[in-house]
Amino acid sequence: MFGQGKLEKEVCKLFDEHMEYIQRCLNGLKTVFLLYVDGKFEEAKQSSFEVCNAESEADTKRRTIIERLYEGAFLPGLREDLIRFTSMADKIADHAESCCDFTVAQQPAIPEQFKDRFVRLLESSIGTFKPLIEGSRTLFTDFAHLREKTMQVNIEESSVDKDEWNLTRDIFQSGVALAEKMHLRELVWHISEISDVAQDAADWLEVLVVKKRV
Amino acid sequence: MIWKTLPGLYLGWGLGATHAANVFGPQVASETISYRRAAFLTAIFIFIGALVEGSKCFGTIGSVAAISVALPAAVATLAAALVVHLMLVAGLPVSSSQAIVGALIGVGISQGNHLGANTLVKLSVSWILTPIGAAVVSYLLYRIIGKLWESRVRNVLVFNRAVSVCSIAIGCYAAYSLGANNLANTTGIYVSVGLLSPFLASILGGLSMAAGVATCSKKVMFTVGKRLTSLEPFTAMIAVLAGAITLHLYAQLGVPVSSSQAIVGAVVGIGMVKGVRTVNRRTLVSIIGGWVFTVLGTAVLGYCLGFLIT
């Protein structure tokens, strides 16, 4: 019924590319973390550069999206909403990078009994991004499927929260030194922050769509 | 002859300057369209509306107080224009339709004319029914178009284009309706006293309203527009469309009504669909106050000015 403008199509493409770079950041973080828990510190450090690069690329895409929007793509009200979502999604890449930096630079000592749980926590925290990326695509295809995707983000985030709480409790009940406990707690926070930010972005996505409905 | 039409042109200018906000206010305030483009479209369509259908309300204005001489007609129009201008400066809501009718009543009484009781009853009923009718129209539009909108507008790309296209089309139609309904307020009385032909009255009235839009509508457009942009884009579009349809329907009945009151009624109607209260008590009081004080104020001023020329 209504056609699409050239600038709008370009923003749509940039939007996809931005999300792709965030995904790359998260995949890179997982690689770094797996290498780290395997004790391959040097390889982990090398891989962390890829995370940094992907984060920089995501930032560049975000800035290009903002430029295109202010060149006239989309109506002003919609423009602000899209910028806000892009910025929120971009924070996921920022958190992935800072988690990566924390791991590689501070090298927290993860006791053997907690290694698997840390990996699982990271996987489920990163996992919240999958429904978010699918949900964000519905913005440009069909709003109807958005709700189920944002619900999925919320469910997965709750599961991460639960794991985070249990892991923190178990760390503090273990026999490791207090300084190490504090250090591990910080690592837990860095990992779970990714899912928290993903949930915030999903919530905003839902608000954005509700505002467009009758 | 020309100087006697000046108050009508002054009233037309004021009407265009203030009422353009009810047509393109939300679109301009939300930057869907630039002010310059909105003013240009409003001026064009208000003029077309005045030219094509504006003469339909001439008869009603002419039969309010049986004024048949040019000077009292000019005085009544001047009284209406002054009150409109004063109320605008004071920031009070004003209806040009109610202003001209009040002024004609005042001047008519001062001249010892018989008032058209039937016309006054018709006008009073119409003014009460304007917001109610607009509420009904917006209620129906919201339900019907809302369903179509939900089924067709399924992503931001379509939403963006639909809002851009529809809000401009609706704004143009609203400007057309405003010209068609409110033209008689500006030059209608000059037709009934034989000072202007209906065609010339339409041209002059239409041009004066267009001039008001083009020169002085910016501030009011942003002020009123921002009030309406607190509504979602679809709701604001329906409110403007319902107001425009109401004005157009009243133009077919030959009754000039208030576009501001129609919009308020339309917003109430949408609130009824959503089950929320969209208009507060203060707004309702200001509408009723507008009815009473505009008619009373212009009637008193019209009577005084009419008494002076007698």
Task: For residue range A118-169, list pLDDT tens digits in order.
Answer: 999 999 999 999 999 999 999 999 888 898 999 999 999 999 999 999 999 9
Check the CA dihedral A187-A189-A192-A195 and report its sign: negative
Look-up: residue for tokens 């990714």?
Answer: A194
Cβ distance A212 to B142 less than 8 Å, yes or no, reads no
- Give chain B positions within 8 Å (CB) of A5: 160-161
In the predicted structure, residue B307 carries a pLDDT above the cut 90: yes
pLDDT at B95: 87
Cross-chain CB nearest to B162 (options A2, A12, A213): A2
Nearest CA in chain A to B147: A214
The phi, psi pair for A128, rounded to 5°, reads -70, -20
Cβ distance B31 to A140 less than 8 Å, yes or no, reads no
Segment B60-89 shows an average pLDDT of 90
Segment B126-140 shows an average pLDDT of 94
Cβ distance B159 to A212 less than 8 Å, yes or no, reads yes
Please state which of the ranges A65-69, B135-139, B283-287 shows the lowest mean pLDDT. B283-287
Segment B231-254 shows an average pLDDT of 93
In the predicted structure, residue B183 carries a pLDDT above the cut 80: yes
pLDDT at B7: 95
In the predicted structure, residue B229 carries a pLDDT above the cut 70: no
Please state which of the ranges A101-115, B160-174, B215-229 shows the lowest mean pLDDT. B215-229
pLDDT at B92: 67
Segment A24-43 shows an average pLDDT of 96
Which stretches of chain A sit within 8 Å of chain B by CB? 1-5, 8-9, 12, 74-78, 82, 138-144, 211-214
B66: number of CA atoms within 13 Å, CB side? 10
Cβ distance B162 to A1 less than 8 Å, yes or no, reads yes
Cβ distance B156 to A3 less than 8 Å, yes or no, reads no
pLDDT at A1: 43
pLDDT at B111: 92
pLDDT at B273: 85
- Give chain A positions within 8 Å (CB) of B156: 74, 78, 82, 139-140, 212
Alpha carbons B260 and B247: distance in angstroms, whole number: 10
Mutation pick from B30, B35, B157, B274 vs chain A, by most beta carbons of A within 10 Å, is B157
pLDDT at B91: 65
Strand, helix or coil for residue A48: helix
Segment A8-27 shows an average pLDDT of 95
Cβ distance A139 to B155 less than 8 Å, yes or no, reads yes
Cβ distance B156 to A140 less than 8 Å, yes or no, reads yes
A187 to A40, A156, B119: CA distances (angstroms): 18, 19, 81
The minimum CA-CA distance between A148 and chain B, rounded to whole Å, is: 15
Determine contact, residues A55/A18, Cβ cutoff 8 Å.
Answer: no
The minimum CA-CA distance between B222 and chain A, rounded to whole Å, is: 15
Mutation pick from B153, B160, B230 vs chain A, by most beta carbons of A within 10 Å, is B160
Cβ distance B163 to A75 less than 8 Å, yes or no, reads yes
In the predicted structure, residue B97 carries a pLDDT above the cut 60: yes
In the predicted structure, residue B267 carries a pLDDT above the cut 80: yes
Please state which of the ranges A85-89, A191-195, B27-31, B173-177 shows the lowest mean pLDDT. B27-31
The minimum CA-CA distance between A195 and chain B, rounded to whole Å, is: 26
Which stretches of chain B sit within 8 Å of chain A by CB? 30-32, 142, 146, 149-150, 152-165, 232-234
Q: Which one-letter DSSP state was computed for residue B31? A: T
Average pLDDT, chain B: 90
Q: How many CB atoms lie within 10 A of CB B307?
A: 14
- The model's confidence at residue A102, banded by pLDDT at 50, 70 and 90, is very high
Please state which of the ranges A86-95, A172-181, B254-263, B277-286 shows the lowest mean pLDDT. B277-286
Cβ distance A214 to B164 less than 8 Å, yes or no, reads no
Look-up: residue for tokens 């501030």?
Answer: B219
CB pairs under 8 A between A and B: 58
pLDDT at B116: 92
Alpha helices, DSSP H, located in chain B: 2-19, 21-29, 35-53, 58-62, 70-89, 96-110, 117-152, 156-183, 189-192, 198-216, 218-228, 233-253, 259-274, 281-309
The minimum CA-CA distance between A131 and chain B, rounded to whole Å, is: 18
Nearest CA in chain A to B142: A214
Determine contact, residues A156/A124, Cβ cutoff 8 Å.
Answer: yes
pLDDT at A191: 97
In the predicted structure, residue B74 carries a pLDDT above the cut 50: yes
- Give chain B positions within 8 Å (CB) of A214: 142, 146, 149-150, 234
Average pLDDT, chain A: 94
Segment A6-28 shows an average pLDDT of 95
Closest C-alpha among B282, B276, B278 to residue B265? B278
pLDDT at B86: 84
Please state which of the ranges A120-134, B70-84, B205-219, B282-296 shows the lowest mean pLDDT. B282-296
In the predicted structure, residue A15 carries a pLDDT above the cut 90: yes
In the predicted structure, residue A194 carries a pLDDT above the cut 80: yes
Determine contact, residues B65/B104, Cβ cutoff 8 Å.
Answer: yes
- Give chain A positions within 8 Å (CB) of B158: 1-2, 4
Segment A66-78 shows an average pLDDT of 91
Closest C-alpha among B69, B70, B71, B61 to residue B104? B61
The minimum CA-CA distance between A127 and chain B, rounded to whole Å, is: 25
Segment B68-86 shows an average pLDDT of 92
